[in-house]
Amino acid sequence: MQESDLTRRQRDVLRCLRAVAADSADPPTLDELCAALGLASRGSLHKHVQALVDAGLVEPLGQKQRGVRLRAFPDAAGRVLPMLGTIAAGRPIEAVTGQASVEVPAGLRSRRPCYVLEVRGDSMRDDGILDGDRVIVEQCERADDGAVVVALIDGTDATLKRIEQRRGEVMLHPANATMRPMRYAPERVVIQGVVVGLMRSYR
């Protein structure tokens, strides 16, 4: 079974396990998973966990530990992160999400929950972020000025830019001398993460 074949709730369980794994060495118990997912009982969780076990994505810890953990794959140097789709490095485009996953070396991610986006456009080329690159994004809602962020504009359009936050205004700066900064009222912009790593294929 592929991740794309999972139900929405099964993907929720998998994302929760990945988030916990990023922050803690201790896998969650079933009770902790229920609480994190807002489920009333283990019974409602069991069928989703069993589907992930059958898919080879997680493994039970045994009766004594009463929990589940992500399956350990042979490539110990990396960790699977969700590939959530594409991000515009140009003018904002409609946010596109997917359900794939990708192995990311540990040195390219942070200890907090992260995800991967594929870059479209060349507005960040002077910072070395090119069309077709994959950026590793630390999930967060705040960023320091100058950080390269995933910014969601008006709830629909996502873009990759350096952020500058002023009183009454948010500026999103491209790293391309042919393009001008974009200016928005603060309430129009939601930070969805900060870029912490980049991967590129030369094939």
Angle at 190 between CA 108 and CA 172, to 5 degrees: 75
Active site residue 123: yes
Same domain, 59 and 84: no
Same domain, 61 and 96: no
91 confidence band (pLDDT: 50, 70, 90): low
What's the pLDDT tens digit per position in 105-155? 888 888 888 889 999 999 999 999 999 999 999 989 899 999 999 999 998
Mean pLDDT value of segment 59-84: 63
User: At a CB cut-off of 8 Å and minimum separation 6, what does 126 contact?
Assistant: 175, 176, 177
DSSP codes joined into one string, 45-106: HHHHHHHHHHTTSEEE--TTT-BEEEPPPS-TTEEEEEEEEEEESSS-EE-B---EEEEEEG
Share of the chain above pLDDT 70, in %: 82
Domain finish residue from 30, 45, 70 = 70
Domain finish residue from 40, 70, 100 = 70
Structural domain including 48 reads 3-70
Report which of residues 89 and 19 the model is more confident about.
89
Q: Please pick, among 47, 101, 110, 161, the residue that the annotation labels catalytic.
A: 161
What's the pLDDT tens digit per position in 2-19? 565 778 888 888 888 777
CA gap 167, 157 in Å, rounded: 23
Amino acid at 88: A
Is residue 156 within 8 A of residue 93, CB to CB? The reply is: no
The pLDDT, as a whole number, for residue 89 is 82
The CATH number linked to 10 is: 1.10.10.10
Secondary structure of the chain: what % helix, strand, coil (to 5)?
A: 25, 35, 40
Q: Please pick, among 4, 24, 123, 201, the residue that the annotation labels catalytic.
A: 123
The pLDDT, as a whole number, for residue 160 is 95
Same domain, 94 and 172: yes
Same domain, 45 and 87: no
Mean pLDDT over each residue of the chain, to the nearest integer: 82
Active site residue 44: no
Domain finish residue from 31, 52, 70 = 70
